[in-house]
A and B are shown apart, each in its own frame.
Chain A
């Protein structure tokens, strides 16, 4: 029976609820299938890094600031070399655990505010954030027209009147070379095409997908990118390919499954190009 969520764009869906819908594929899962089935199988064991924690806090600061205090606790500046400082830190950690919040120190909080300042100062995207244009954190559920699975996505910002979907990225460098390399490494082409196909399936309209990339370190440049049709098509091709691989895995016998979970089914001969 098809889910009631299919074909809907939903506001204010808590992230935990969105992420825990196993009947819908996420773009991040498709990317994991592409790495190896084992990457997908062990996805819950992924350890949260400082980068992820800071990125998530920055998202909340920029997109859902009204929810910041319910998710994060900013620790006062303490000197951990002193006994008092250590005690204050321990106290803050206890409070964060008790209130189920993520702890940020003063330096991290200052850094996040700095990112926010740079983004709200950018000539192209400032209005998005200072005027809070569009809708934030919109969850979409759709039936993928080509790969034949149900999927979901969550837009950082959705501007329905302008047919724009905005995604925020926090990276060490926002230089075009660095971002192009990140697109390959993190397969942002799969993400963008997945979201665009999802939006098309739900609304019937062609959207544009923009990456607002904010540098996490000096000089904190902000740069907006979009992918051309050829790059999006590559994302679509690989999405089809990776989902096909996953379907094959799911329908395989238990013995065969073991052969399909890694990178390559069999022994591979390599040619090492030294120069």
Chain B
């Protein structure tokens, strides 16, 4: 696949922007838990909603903002530093599988996800770094039980594992609060959460 990537930095000096980028990168780490599985290729991917949620939160803390504009043929992305006004702009040419509105939508979603991941060097695969860097910034506590790495990383099975780790209603509420709207609106995952809540309620 041939992608055209144009990259441009605006501003006299981008020192403040880069400093903020490093802060965000430190906060995010290099790995983000994949919550989606591509049924065709069997690979894991980060759901866009989750990705935006995580990156937005960290960027906001350090005065960074991200803007993405589809132009018809491509996607312009701007990483902006609020105080200094400096920004980095990139252009990503969209490759369409199908010349339909759905095809365009799908290409935009794909591009948005790829660009956001690339901007902060985030991987969706199994975590391999030794220092256990993770983007689960909202929940820095170590997992309470170890899970085999081979566990399927579909959204449902991941949610199941994480919910099983919640030993109290507060833990569960905290976990649920961290989830994206897409996850919260998933009927199966919501039912899973309600079942776990009932289990914990009976045990409490």
Q: Smallest CB–CB gap between B55 and chain A, Å?
A: 31
Q: Smallest CB–CB gap between A128 and chain B, Å?
A: 7
Asked if residues A164 and B187 are in contact (CB atoms below 8 Å), the reply is: no
Q: Which residues of the partner chain A approach B197 to less than 8 Å between Cβ atoms?
A: 208
Contact check: which of A127, A163, A226 meets B194 at CB < 8 Å? A226
Contact check: which of A128, A159, A162, A228 meets B187 at CB < 8 Å? A228
Q: Which residue of B lies closest to A228 (CB)?
A: B191
Q: Which residues of the partner chain A approach B187 to less than 8 Å between Cβ atoms?
A: 228-230
Count A-side interface residues using an 8 Å CB cutoff.
Answer: 15
Interface presence of A125 (CB below 8 A): yes
Interface of B is mostly: helix
- Complexed CA–CA distance, A79 and B14 (Å): 97
Q: Which residues of the partner chain B approach A164 to less than 8 Å between Cβ atoms?
A: 198, 201-202
- Complexed CA–CA distance, A58 and B80 (Å): 68
Given that A228-B187, A230-B187 are contacting pairs, would A124 and B195 also be in contact in the complex, using a CB cutoff of 8 Å? no
Interface presence of A261 (CB below 8 A): no
Interface presence of B203 (CB below 8 A): yes
Tier of interface size on chain B: 10 to 19
Q: Which residues 162-204 of B sit at the A interface, judged by CB distance below 8 A?
A: 187, 190-191, 194-195, 197-199, 201-204
Q: Which residues of the partner chain B approach A226 to less than 8 Å between Cβ atoms?
A: 194-195, 198
Q: Which residues of the partner chain A approach B204 to less than 8 Å between Cβ atoms?
A: 162
Q: Which residues of the partner chain B approach A230 to less than 8 Å between Cβ atoms?
A: 187
Q: Smallest CB–CB gap between A11 and chain B, Å?
A: 21
Q: Give the 4 A-B CB pairs with smallest separation, nearest first.
A: A228-B191, A162-B201, A124-B202, A208-B198
Residues of A within 8 A of B (CB): 124-125, 127-128, 159, 162-164, 208, 210, 224, 226, 228-230
Beyond contacts A163-B201, A228-B190: 7 other A-B pairs, Cβ-Cβ < 8 A, are: A124-B203, A127-B203, A164-B201, A164-B202, A210-B198, A226-B195, A228-B194
Chosen A-B contacts, 27 in total, with CB atoms closer than 8 Å, are: A124-B199, A124-B203, A127-B202, A127-B203, A128-B202, A159-B201, A162-B201, A162-B202, A162-B204, A163-B201, A164-B198, A208-B194, A208-B197, A208-B198, A208-B201, A210-B202, A224-B202, A226-B194, A226-B195, A226-B198, A228-B187, A228-B190, A228-B191, A228-B194, A229-B187, A229-B190, A230-B187
